[in-house]
Amino acid sequence: MHGRLGQKVIVIVGGTSGLGLAAVRACIREGASVVAVGRDAEKIRTLEIELKNRGTVLRGDATDPSTAERAISAAVNAHGGFDGLYHVAGGSGRRRGDGPLHEISDDGWQFTQDINLKSLFHSNRAAVREFLHRKTRGSIVNCGSVLGYSPSPAFFPTHAYAAAKAAVLGLTRSAAAYYASYGIRLNVLAPGLVATPMSDRAQANPEILEFIRTKQPLDGGRIGQPEDLDSAVVWLLSDESKFVTGQVIAVDGGWSVSEGQRPWADAGTSRRQR
């Protein structure tokens, strides 16, 4: 099969909706065989029909260490190998008690760490173990967030989530340094605000939408779409990025370099008046 990922077998944890689903489709288009992991039975059935013989869809909880292990075994047994992992699974703990530091409940903290960091730890560990066992090179791409290093106190003060995503950066970069000589690469994609089920609250808030107009000013100032990350995902999983490891690549519409306070034209006027 031709394509930038031709002959590769990719596991995507969190691959049945949002960013992960878009990535599954992108990897398939680029010639990969894919094992996608998700929790929702209906979404799994729908994706199974879509993928046909190009992929396998498994139901599992990403916080369970056996889930990633089963997915990697499926990649090897059903598709003949294992070349890359994209970990997307995660989410907001806002409804469970995440928020500003002084308001975070113990349950909110633990839940948020589990779904965002514990799950990623399990998948990354399983992937590295498999690469070492097979004595093969491989690529791991972890989905982080700009909130891990570029906070938004007015609209996104979920400090447990920010802590988990900051830890993703630390784990990824530390592991990238350790395993580089084995040919195992680890990188992070850090999206800004993207239109996924997780961001429904933000998408329905006119104040946040106005904030995003200047905080993510690229392409007219908008919320990102899952497909905006696809090219970066494919590149990092492909041999085109074989000399890249330990990097944090922001696909954020300009979030991390923008103020997000007022329209650019007004800001320019203010600068001229100073």
Residues designated catalytic: 161
Count other C-beta atoms under 10 Å from residue 219's C-beta.
11
How far is Cα 46 from Cα 25, in angstroms, rounded to an integer? 13
Count other C-beta atoms under 10 Å from residue 95's C-beta.
10
- Tell me how far apart the 2 most distant CA atoms of the chain are, in Å: 67
Q: Exposed (0-12), middle (13-18) or buried (19+): which is 42, by Cβ within 10 Å?
A: exposed
Residue 203 backbone class (left: φ over 0; alpha: ψ -120 to 50; beta: rest): alpha
CB 8 within 8 A of CB 237: yes
SS3 label, residue 110: helix
Helix locations, the chain, DSSP H: 18-29, 41-51, 65-79, 106-113, 119-134, 159-179, 200-203, 206-215, 230-237, 264-273
